[in-house]
Structure 1
Amino acid sequence: MTPFFQDSIDTLMSSRSTEDVRFQLLKIAHLLGFENFAFGTRAPSLDSSPKVIMVNSYTDSWNELYQKNDFILIDPIVKKATFSTEPILWENELTESNDFCDAAKDCGLSIGWSNAIHKPNGASSLFSVCRSLESLTDKELNKISPYLYWVSNLAVQTLERVNNEYAGVVLTEILTPREIEILKWSSEGKTANEIAIILGISVRTVTFHITNSVAKLNACNKTSAIIKAVSLGLLDI
């Protein structure tokens, strides 16, 4: 690692705004042999669809084309990252001839590397670097992969620090341990009477906690509250 690269990492970690982070990530991408970077996050939300936020160094014309055509719905990199934590090489995925792949290649966005991070609270992020020329060789990947993994994790940490929208809801504060415990027993088919006996509390108290859980999760009933708690990583069944 060169002193200049370490300086860029240090500056990234002390960034104070999203624009500062964007500038430093682009500088680091250049140092690692790439032309552009992209970072996107999909954060869970209790009262709406998951919030998707992106920051990148792409041209305005590409970003506008991407949003206008809802390319996020057919982007093969995003699709694979949804279910994988393995590094993704773009040349292995951008093989079909369709609107997205053709447009990406026309814009010089065909050679790249991406890494997805999935968090227990249901939030996920995708960090990518790319260039228009020269395929990534095994030798180059062996050399730069440790730095790419490091930077992708730092991007998550730094952006969450400067802008809490990237972190999503603070799920640990949504339900109390008792509410989670009662939902757990409910998910196993236990009635309010049975849960009251198991926990040594009144049926009224059990019902009180279930009602609170349903309200906090913006659910319509106990069953939907359980489903939502599971999807947010609050409950294991």
Structure 2
Amino acid sequence: MGERSASLKDDLARVNVTSVKDIRTAAEALRDIAWERANLRVALADNIASKNPLMDEDGGILAAEVFGWNAPDERWWADTRLALSSPVPRACRYESEPFWVNADGFRTRQPNRYLEAIDLSNFEKRALCKATIGIPVHLPFGQIGLASYGVADPERTDLSAEYEAHADELYLLSHRFIAGCVKALRTRQWLPADCQLTKREVECLRWASIGKTDKEISMILGRSHATVRFHIQNAGEKLDAVNRSQTIFKAAQLGYLGYAA
């Protein structure tokens, strides 16, 4: 066990990214580790909401140049519709732990009824594989990355053995690599640093986020209409937002609004 922990620690260091210059070598390390451990091929995206594939310092597309997705039927990174049509990135919007999936369903460490509701019809055509291990990577400000691991044999549909043996370590490695890439590549500060909202501001924004008007929020909280408006406007100033919608959006990105369980 100690030997395995030491190996994982070394592997985490190999995939660590501290600057844009590290991306290429770290990607190559992740590719090699996945193959050495279980003959797994890597496909990843730093942001499933972006049309742009992950690149190295020189603009090289990692999916093609490092991970080897070059065959005509493998160029998933060139399909800008994939994040919306494939059930694999879609699942990452509802799950934060590793899973594996084929046409028969999702398998996770804990039950997730949201995954059970995802349409898996025409799975192979939509997911571009018969089975894969999915690693969601949830990052600050609501960004979601994805690392997908498939076996060398494209006809395999059962990845339960690989999932049980390697999913947790793949999660750590994928998260370390993708999070490092995102930090290294982020050049613009979209949200104010160290923004602290008050309890009242958060309460008002939570109700506003589910469609309540200022008047309705004032009745719910037992505060005047003007007080509710003041709290929302004050939160907007702190978040450098231009209107109510952007105030709610930015507060959600920073994790102030939570979610319904």
- Counterpart of 1:235 in structure 2 is 256
Q: Which residue of 1 aligns with 2:16?
A: 13
Is 1:96 the counterpart of 2:118? The answer is: no
Question: Is the 1:213–1:225 Cα contact (8 Å) retained in structure 2?
Answer: no
User: Kindly, what percent of the aligned residue pairs are identical?
Assistant: 10
The alpha-carbon distance between structure 1 residues 184 and 62, as it changes in their structure 2 partners (threshold 3 A), is farther
For 1:120 and 1:2, the matched residues in 2 are separated by 27
Q: How does 1:217-232 map to 2 (within 5 A)?
A: 217-219=241-243, 222=244, 224-232=245-253
Q: Which of 117, 123, 132 is equivalent to 2:143?
A: 123
Match of 2:60 in 1: none
Structure 2 residue 168 is the aligned partner of structure 1 residue 146? yes
For 1:59, the aligned partner's letter is: W
> Structure 2 CA distance, aligned partners of 1:140 and 1:207?
49
Q: Normalising by structure 1, what TM-score?
A: 0.66
Question: Secondary structure of 2:132's partner?
Answer: strand
Give the CA deviation at 1:88. Answer: 2.4
8 A contact 1:77–1:93 mirrored in 2: no
* Residue ranges of structure 2 left out of the alignment (5+ in a row): 55-62, 107-119, 209-216
TM-score for both structures, normalised by structure 2? 0.61
Q: SS state of the match for residue 116, structure 1?
A: strand
Q: Distance in 1 between matches of 2:80 and 2:44?
A: 19
- Following superposition of structure 1 onto structure 2, how do residues 1-237 of structure 1 map, counting pairs within 5 Å? 1=4, 7-13=10-16, 16-42=21-47, 51=50, 53-55=52-54, 56=63, 57-60=67-70, 61-62=72-73, 64=75, 67-68=78-79, 70-91=81-102, 92-93=104-105, 96-97=121-122, 101-102=124-125, 109-119=129-139, 121-133=141-153, 134-136=156-158, 138-164=160-186, 169=189, 171=191, 173=193, 175-177=195-197, 182=201, 184-185=203-204, 187=208, 188-189=217-218, 190-191=223-224, 193-194=226-227, 209=234, 212-213=237-238, 216-219=240-243, 222=244, 224-236=245-257
CA–CA separation in structure 2 for the residues paired with 1:145 and 1:64: 24
Deviation at 1:42, TM superposition (A): 2.9
Deviation readout 1:113-165 (Å, 9 max, x if unpaired): 01213345212221221124245454443322232122122223322343226
Root mean square deviation, CA, Å: 3.9
Decide which moves more: 66-75 or 79-88.
66-75
Deviations 1:157-208 (A, max 9, x none): 322343226xx85646274546x85464465435575369xxxxxx7xx797
AA in 1 matched with 2:31:
L
C-alpha distance 110-207 of structure 1, shift in aligned 2 (>3 A): closer
Deviations 1:78-136 (A, max 9, x none): 111211124221324596337xx23765xxx4332012133452122212211242454
Q: Verify the 8 A CA contact 2:43 2:149 in the aligned structure 1.
A: yes
Task: Give the length in aligned residue pairs.
Answer: 211
What SS does structure 2 have at the residue aligned with 1:117?
A: strand
Gaps of 5+ in 1: 44-49, 197-202
- Kept in 2, the 8 Å contact 1:116–1:125? The answer is yes
Q: Which amino acid aligns with 1:118?
A: H
- Contact preservation (8 Å) 2:41, 2:151: yes
Deviations 1:55-98 (A, max 9, x none): 43242345656534622221111111211124221324596337
Cα separation, partners in 2 of 1:192 and 1:38, compared to 1, 3 Å: same
